[in-house]
Structure 1
Amino acid sequence: MSGLRITGRLRSLALVLAAGAFMVGGLSSTAAYASEAAPLGTEPQIGIQFNPDGTGQCEGRTGEQWATSPNWTEAIRLDTDNRPGGCRLAFGVTDPDGTLAGSSIKYQLTRSTNGVGQCGDNLSPNEVPILPIPAFGKQVRVDTDNQPGWCNLTFTVTGRIVLDVQLYADGEPGQCEDASPVTHSASAGSPVTVKIDTDGRPGGCQFLLRLRHF
């Protein structure tokens, strides 16, 4: 029994040291650690953190979720309009066995050229933490409304990763990039950008991710 307790402590220490290395690497200010209850397995997992700071504009799977490669996440639903508040988004990858060593994912939310004040104040590229423990990068804020313009969400990938992205409308097609589910695949040298322009028109945008590796 004592041997089992020691082994458990050593595993916990290893996870703490991994987190410390991540913080030393300069990303501690851009990461929010998830619950220890997030599932850990041998395959990498993609995580979405999706939280409303208003009412009724952020639906589907809110909170935190993790999907094991190559499965899709559950859909989150963006329907930000003139109501107060918006939706906060962040992403993470758990990689217990180091399968994705040398690979990276970045995400960036930017305003369209005619967009004013719709997409929060974090408009810089954000690193997706790829760690043996669950963690999320810095939040971006989607808050489109009836003003001109929209938010662009871009994913950039390096290494042996393919990140599949779906963003599609469940109402007025002009609020999202596609009127039906179409998969956009981000890979090394081929980033993906999707357009979020939800406003007072009917419906919103369904958003899903899938992580694959080779």
Structure 2
Amino acid sequence: MFKTHIIRSTMLAAATLLSTSCGVAAPEESLESDATSTRGDALGGAEFWHDFRAYSGASPECNGFNVSEGRGLGQWTSQIRLDTDSRPQGCWQKFGIQDPYGELSGLMLTVSFYGQGSPTASGQCDNPGTYVVPIGPTLDWTGPWGIDTTDAYGGCVQTFSISGRDDIALDVRFDADRHNGQCQNAGLHTVTSINPVSLTLDMDNRYGGCYQTFRLRKMTCGDNVCESGELCPADCMICGDGICNGSETRATCPEDCFPQGPGNCAIYCPPEIP
């Protein structure tokens, strides 16, 4: 534990030095290839758990994606596929967070699950309600909600919200394998204390379905994500701040990246290839 602390402290010091130097961006220890990766020094012992399974057996509506798994901060859960329609049965879903060292103390992650038009949307949204995801040293789960959308009117609305911590984010990938309106508000979304995210699941007999995957992470300077209100030069390219960072070059921002530029580069800034 002590050794781990020393390693993290060393990495943080190195990242701070590099992010304030001219012409050098803070190094990244990316867990994923996409733009919202989390640096290794933001990781710890906490795990985000996702459980997704058919009502009974290997229902084809859940496409065989029965999972119960935990992922560390900054890591994506396995992708699941929702394709419920007029076939009988549906899919149960629930979450939990294991936090043995109290890294997420004060965090509240809430999932609201209700039908459009009525709480169950004519039986398409089982166990509707608002669920607070348990966070503790041992794993505990929310109660499960059931996704059983059919050809009845509307679908299920799933809303994720965070409170209690401003430095924690939940990334949600919600993708459609056909652009036919079954997966409303599809895309990559980031849930923060100032940004709840709502998704609408309206799978029916139209061809295709919806994919979901999740990632809980700490928002830190150097995680390559420029959050709302963040003033971290390693994440947010600000031409004119005297730091040659991000995608800035001598061609795009000469005042920061020219060898004898202003600010931190007034004395010397290493040559940079435009």
Matched with 1:166 is 173
Matched with 1:117 is 123
1:74 aligned onto 2:78: yes
**CA offsets per residue over residues 153-192 of structure 1, 9 Å max, x none?**
111111132111111111243110256xx21111113211
CA contact (8 A) 1:172 1:202 kept: no
Counterpart AA for 1:177: Q
Map of 1:1-214 to 2, 5 A cutoff?
42-54=44-56, 55-59=59-63, 61-113=65-117, 115-120=121-126, 122-158=127-163, 159=165, 160-178=167-185, 182-214=187-219
**CA offsets per residue over residues 113-156 of structure 1, 9 Å max, x none?**
27322101x22211101112222111001110111101001111
Counterpart AA for 1:166: R
Matched with 1:38 is none
Question: Of the two, which has the highest radius of gyration?
Answer: 2
- Equivalent-residue separation in structure 2 for 1:173 and 1:47 (angstroms): 30
Counterpart AA for 1:53: Y
- Equivalent-residue separation in structure 2 for 1:188 and 1:172 (angstroms): 30
In the alignment of these two chains, the number of paired residues is: 171
The runs of 4+ residues in structure 1 deviating greater than 4 Å are: none
CA contact (8 A) 1:75 1:208 kept: yes
- Equivalent-residue separation in structure 1 for 2:138 and 2:155 (angstroms): 34
Task: Tell me which of the two structures has the higher relative contact order, counting C-alpha pairs closer than 8 angstroms and 6 or more residues apart.
Answer: 1
CA contact (8 A) 1:164 1:209 kept: yes
Q: Which sections of structure 2, spanning at least 5 residues, go unmatched?
A: 1-42, 220-274
- Equivalent-residue separation in structure 2 for 1:60 and 1:75 (angstroms): 11
**CA offsets per residue over residues 27-84 of structure 1, 9 Å max, x none?**
xxxxxxxxxxxxxx94321111111015200135413011111011110111110011
Does 76-85 or 54-63 show the bigger shift?
54-63
- Equivalent-residue separation in structure 1 for 2:185 and 2:194 (angstroms): 23
- Equivalent-residue separation in structure 1 for 2:132 and 2:185 (angstroms): 26
RMSD over aligned Cα atoms: 1.7
Indicate the SS of the match to 2:125. coil
- Equivalent-residue separation in structure 2 for 1:164 and 1:101 (angstroms): 19
Percent of counterpart pairs with the same letter? 34
Indicate the SS of the match to 2:63. strand
Counterpart AA for 1:50: F
Counterpart AA for 2:161: T
Q: TM-score, normalised by structure 2?
A: 0.59
- Equivalent-residue separation in structure 1 for 2:203 and 2:156 (angstroms): 9
